[in-house]
Structure 1
């Protein structure tokens, strides 16, 4: 079935001036928090913030929630770009990470399998790795939908996430998910 472009206007609007990382790990939220050096019992329930100003300070909490067999981690910083961290989080499983700062037109995307980066895209450098055969068809569809290949955070990253995780991220999905929020140790941060 052909890919359909996602509506990401909500990220280009009020979130465009803020940095964010969306990290998807095929494991439980408790395991993700533990791998980050946090304590699950210190994470408290709460909704996804209504606006980016709610979490823009350094050391702000990260949010975790389950989406099917996946844990979705929201970080209001560049956690999803720290290669040592994401490869460690991917040990024994799959991880997909996207991070962006729209106001500076910067974005990063990683797909990791069992501690190895399989595909990477980074800011002004573009492709950090060759496109693996598993993504060739999806990349062809993305080229068809976005002939000028805009920055990945403007749509293509969400199609790659959907292909690799089965999750179509939407504003509604974020707002209706039950998050737990907590601070991870500063040593974890890049």
Structure 2
């Protein structure tokens, strides 16, 4: 029999009030509070908090607090990724972010979702769908990335977009819902 955490990570319906999951979220909340209150003039302390919160982060990760996530442990981040102010990652399933990807302020990455059937929602069950964002992607400010989305390498997502479906590599995409506007050449 799978644990609630195993169900969650597999994208199956699970009970988020499970004691193990509640304890892991509480741990993340305490680390986030410390990170979000950390001082610019204490970079070693901030780096230690980030490493503890996001153990699968590559070198050179730069987060401008405040930053928010559910667990942190389900986020895999490549080298030299930048998160501007006020970003949120709901990482109930794996969220993979490629190297050198840039996030504008207020980007929301939602791997979490809820059942469409109200009766199932009333039972307190939820689920998630993994998200992957390629290398060298630029995500503009206030973008929302919905559950299950894949964004290809080197693409640019315009500010304010709501990404509801996959975006291929090497394109500029924008809108609500986000759609490909044009291909990008090597000159951008």
**Which one has a bigger Cα radius of gyration?**
2
Structure with more helix by fraction: 1
- Asked if Structure 1 and Structure 2 have the same fold, meaning a TM-score greater than 0.5 normalized by the shorter chain, the answer is no
- Determine which structure has greater relative contact order: mean sequence separation of CA pairs < 8 Å that are 6+ residues apart, divided by chain length: 1
Q: Please tell me the TM-score bracket, short chain as reference.
A: under 0.3
